């Protein structure tokens, strides 16, 4: 190989090294930017869904407060013999599309009225989302509680899933309502206010998420 050829090759090599370094740095920068963009998009969509769920929970609580102070609650003193309270609770359950029931409980935990007619007259122990005291209009004492049971299945109504992206619930250490397992994925999660140890997770298949970038 002649000296001239060697010089030309050396110049080419010296010229290409900065190019390759620049491309590697640029590629890494693009990858980080893409990851940040995808994470931001996931978190934005998740926060919109969680906000809708929180609004539904707040609506349920507001209805409990409203009913607990309504005139119909005075039927408590006749043990809701004509089931007027129970019918109001049943109707409210239908309006809210609620999976779960309303219960009017004496201090002894006996059910006086409920959207679940089969529970009336029984003593129950349940995990309630929210309870509101019923105060007697005659002596101002707390004589009962109006409580609402809120199944986590209510949350599924707000999930919009696809083949490559889905929501699921993490409650304590359990994963609930997860459609499939992705081999690898990216995810975002937010804790629900008012529901202990309950998180909503939005997960996307990683290969699908990066498909455009890889191309």
Per-residue pLDDT, 194: 83
Per-residue pLDDT, 2: 67
Which residue matches tokens 């309630």? 128
Token pair, residue 68, equals 């607990």
Residue 13 lies in a domain: yes
Residue 2 lies in a domain: no
Give dist(CA 129, CA 76) in Å, integer: 22
Q: Tell me the per-residue pLDDT of 128-147, one tens digit each, with 9 for 90 and over.
A: 999 999 999 888 899 999 99
Q: Tell me the per-residue pLDDT of 156-175, one tens digit each, with 9 for 90 and over.
A: 999 999 999 999 999 988 99
Bigger pLDDT: 61 vs 21:
61
pTM of the model: 0.80
Q: Does 68 share its domain with 40?
A: no
Q: Does 52 share its domain with 65?
A: no
Domain count along the chain:
2
Q: Does 66 share its domain with 131?
A: yes
Q: Where residue 26 sits, what CATH number does that domain have?
A: 3.30.450
Residue 98 lies in a domain: yes
Domain end position, chosen among 148, 169, 198: 148
Beta bridge partners, 171, equal 174, 198
Domain end position, chosen among 92, 114, 148: 148
Per-residue pLDDT, 4: 62
Domain end position, chosen among 133, 148, 163: 148
Measured CA to CA in angstroms, residue 99 lies from 60, 151, 189 at distances of 11, 6, 24
Residue 12 lies in a domain: yes
Give dist(CA 114, CA 67) in Å, integer: 12
Q: Does 116 share its domain with 66?
A: yes
| Sign of the dihedral through C-alpha 20, 22, 24, 27 | negative
Q: Where residue 92 sits, what CATH number does that domain have?
A: 3.30.450.20
Do the Cβ atoms of 191 and 201 come closer than 8 Å?
Answer: no
What is the domain range of residue 128?
61-148
Bigger pLDDT: 93 vs 109:
93
């Amino acid at each position: 190989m002649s000296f001239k050829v060697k010089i030309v090759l050396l110049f080419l090599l010296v010229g290409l090294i900065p190019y390759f370094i620049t491309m590697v740095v640029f590629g890494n920068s693009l990858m980080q930017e893409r990851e940040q963009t995808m994470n931001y998009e996931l978190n934005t969509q998740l926060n919109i869904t969680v906000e809708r769920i929180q609004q539904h929970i707040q609506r349920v609580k507001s209805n409990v407060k409203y009913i607990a102070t309504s005139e119909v609650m005075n039927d408590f003193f006749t043990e809701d013999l004509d089931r007027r309270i129970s019918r109001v609770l049943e109707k409210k359950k239908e309006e809210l599309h609620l999976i779960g029931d309303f219960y009017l409980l004496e201090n002894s935990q006996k059910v006086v009225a409920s959207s679940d007619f089969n529970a009336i007259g029984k003593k129950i122990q349940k995990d309630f989302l929210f309870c509101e005291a019923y105060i007697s209009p005659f002596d101002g004492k707390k004589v009962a509680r109006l409580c609402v049971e809120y199944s986590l299945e209510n949350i599924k109504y707000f999930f919009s899933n696809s083949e490559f992206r889905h929501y699921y619930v993490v409650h304590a250490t359990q994963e609930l309502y997860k459609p499939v397992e992705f081999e690898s994925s990216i995810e975002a999660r937010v804790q629900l206010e008012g529901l202990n140890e309950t998180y909503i997770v939005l997960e996307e298949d990683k290969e699908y998420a990066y498909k455009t970038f890889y191309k």
